[in-house]
Amino acid sequence: MNTFGNIFRLTSFGESHGEAIGGVIDGCPAGIFIDKEFIQNELDRRKPGQSDLTTSRKEPDQVEFLSGIYEGKTTGTPIGFIVRNNNQHSSDYDNLKDVFRPSHADYTYQQKYGHRDHRGGGRSSARETIARVVGGAIAKLALKESGIVITAYTSQVGSIRLEKPDAELDFNAIEQTPVRCPDLETARQMIERIQQIKAEGDTIGGVITCVCRGVPAGLGEPVFGKLHAALGSAMLSINAAKGFEYGLGFEGVQYKGSEVNDLFYRKPDGSAGTKTNHSGGIQGGISNGEPVYFRVAFKPVATLLMEQPTIDRSGNETVVKVKGRHDPCVLPRAVPIVEAMAAMTILDYKLLAKA
In this complex, which beta carbon is closest to a second copy, that of residue 27 or of residue 49? 27
In the complex, minimum distance from the CB of residue 172 to a second copy, in angstroms, rounded to a whole number: 26
Smallest separation (angstroms) from a second copy to the CB of 256: 5
Q: For a second copy, give the closer residue by CB, 182 or 247.
A: 247
CB of 49 to a second copy, least distance (A): 21
Dihedral sign computed on CA atoms, order 270, 248, 179, 321: negative
Helices 227-236 and 331-354 cross at an angle (nearest 10°) of 150
Of the two residues 43 and 109, which places its CB atom closer to a second copy in the complex? 109
To the nearest whole angstrom, how small is the minimum distance from the Cβ of residue 37 to a second copy?
19
**Least distance from a second copy to the Cβ atom of residue 196, Å:** 10
Q: C-beta of 208: minimal distance to a second copy in Å? A: 10
Return the sign of the alpha-carbon dihedral for residues 52, 54, 59, 63: negative
In Å, how far are 4, 14, 22, 88 from 123, measured between CA atoms? 16, 6, 12, 14
Closer CB to a second copy, 165 or 257, in the complex: 257
Of 110, 92, 105, nearest to 321 by C-alpha is 92
Judged by beta carbon, residue 176 or residue 272, the one nearer a second copy is: 272
DSSP strand pairing (272-274 vs 264-266): antiparallel
User: Cα angle vertex 187, ends 185, 192, to 5°?
Assistant: 100
Q: Quick count: other Cβ atoms within 10 Å of Cβ 258?
A: 6
**Cβ proximity to a second copy, 172 vs 265, nearer residue:** 265
